Amino acid sequence: MRFTLPAERVLEAMTLSGERWRRMVEMARLGTLGQSGLPLIRLSARLGLEPPRTERGALVLFGTADKVRATLLIDDLPERTHGRVTVLPDAWRAAFGPCEDMIGGVARLADGAQAAVIDLAIGVAERRAPPARADRQDSAHLLVRTGRAELEAVRVASLSGIRAIAQSQPEAGPRMLLLLGGAGEALAVDEVVGLAPEGRIERLGEARMLVTPSGRYRLLEPDATAPVAMEGARILLTAPAGEARTRLRDLVRSMGHRVSLADDPRAARLVGGRFDILLFDLDAYDAGADRGMPTRARRIGVSSAALATLPPGFEAVVPAQDPVALVAALLQTPARAA
């Protein structure tokens, strides 16, 4: 069977041989093109085929709008041709076995032969940003109650965990214990109210204040507190482009994590091994769409509907409109979850 790639997604194809080819093969086993951070996919392996023993092939830069999104290693020298593409009949899909999700159609080539059209879910739509610095003005803060009349603030990036405190009188409300990473301390609060508005940090005498358009809030954590848990986590956020995804991205970045975006649920199967956490929009995509994702990465779902049980393979599902629940889920570690 012959395979084709849509020409509009191929930005460049480079012939490789000898030592250069062998280096690329080794990089493909690791899944990344050197230090570029771009996913490197050996097409034969991704199609479920036994890679042939060859000393030459091609590196294909694959992407859209003149931006490289992924790189493909092909065990042959590609050639440009023309053909007429038709939708793949459903009855044919089973014939492609483990790679059926990658076949988008069938092309009738100029020489009369047929070729399967590969619809590669490159998915990652934005290069990850560097972690937010601890002193950035837009770093996320939680507003909490501690028995005072005024709300107070805690910087999210200073936390290593959030735990509920068992109480003898549950009607008193859920008290929470905020674990501070760098200082090795903890704060008991009566309530975590929610996220604070964006603001800046100022000093007022000996106190540090979060100054926002809606008010000023005293900061509770010590100056020396620094994030330690999940520091610099690599997170792949899979959700449709839009305002909701932007809010999620900004929140996760403000915690100090590195975030990449994807709008195709199949993207994690190609590059998910490069990430520590897979954050998945369950309103937009069925939980089963993550079949084949790497098991090493933690999976957290976001959903506006209450789910009776966790989808298989997911560590947690948080309400879409509850940023505090998302903060707590991202801070949770597998050891604590057990």
Confidence of residue 136 (pLDDT cuts 50, 70, 90): very low
> What does pLDDT average to over the chain?
76
Q: What angle (nearest 5°) sits at the alpha carbon of residue 40, between those of residues 38 and 42?
A: 165
Structure token digits, residue 180: 């501070």
Residue 297 or residue 272, greater confidence:
297
The whole-number pLDDT of residue 137 equals 37
Q: What amino acid is encoded at 194 in this protein?
A: G
> If you average pLDDT over each of 92-106, 177-191, 303-317, which comes out highest?
303-317
pLDDT tens-digit series, residues 75-128: 888 878 887 877 766 666 666 665 666 676 778 888 888 887 776 655 443 444
Does pLDDT of 270 surpass 80?
no
Confidence of residue 217 (pLDDT cuts 50, 70, 90): very high
Residue with tokens 């209450």: 306
DSSP classification of residue 34: T
Average pLDDT over residues 12-21: 88
Structure token digits, residue 9: 């997604």
pLDDT tens-digit series, residues 47-69: 777 777 888 888 888 777 677 77
The whole-number pLDDT of residue 95 equals 66
Residues present in the chain in total? 338
Structure token digits, residue 40: 């490197």
Percent of the chain predicted with pLDDT > 90: 4
- Give CA–CA dist 243/96, Å, rounded: 37
pLDDT tens-digit series, residues 228-257: 444 568 888 988 888 888 888 888 887 778
The whole-number pLDDT of residue 72 equals 83
Structure token digits, residue 103: 């076949």
Lowest mean pLDDT among 224-228, 239-243, 275-279, 280-284: 224-228
The whole-number pLDDT of residue 338 equals 36
The whole-number pLDDT of residue 303 equals 92
Does pLDDT of 223 surpass 80?
no
Q: pTM above the 0.85 mark?
A: no
The whole-number pLDDT of residue 93 equals 61
Exposed/middle/buried for residue 320 (C-beta within 10 Å: 0-12, 13-18, 19+): buried
> DSSP strand E in 54-140: where?
56-64, 67-74, 83-87, 103-109, 114-118, 124-126
Percent of the chain predicted with pLDDT > 70: 75
Q: Three-state DSSP class for 191?
A: strand
CA 284 from chain centre, in angstroms, equals: 15
The whole-number pLDDT of residue 181 equals 67
For the chain, list the domains and their CATH numbers.
2-121 (no CATH), 141-219 (no CATH), 234-337 (3.40.50.2300)
